[in-house]
Structure 1
């Protein structure tokens, strides 16, 4: 642990542009009616804007980064 700077950690930390959890920073996705939006014939593209942030599954790695 004390062998100098961890270059992998510093590189990934530099790449993380939006350090927020998606379901907290973009609550509109939780309000979508998923069953209605699952039919590919009726996808409304404005309902599926990509969120900017981290998935909850990535929080352990993010904690390691910080």
Structure 2
């Protein structure tokens, strides 16, 4: 894919709010998106099932990390 020439539109605070691209670039992007496979609605997550062994109490760890912020 070739580089896309773009213009960033900002608000009064200079925060980006929109992007302007060439119409031909948009058509190319749209065509590529249409060619992507649809995500599966019924994804099998059983391969991720299992258990973990914790070496530290989660609440104690959370308190330790929060104390580092101070």
TM-score normalised according to structure 1 size: 0.23
Q: Which has the higher contact order (CA 8 A, sep 6+)?
A: 1
Larger relative helix fraction: 1
Larger relative strand fraction: 2
Structure of larger gyration radius: 2
TM-score normalised according to structure 2 size: 0.23
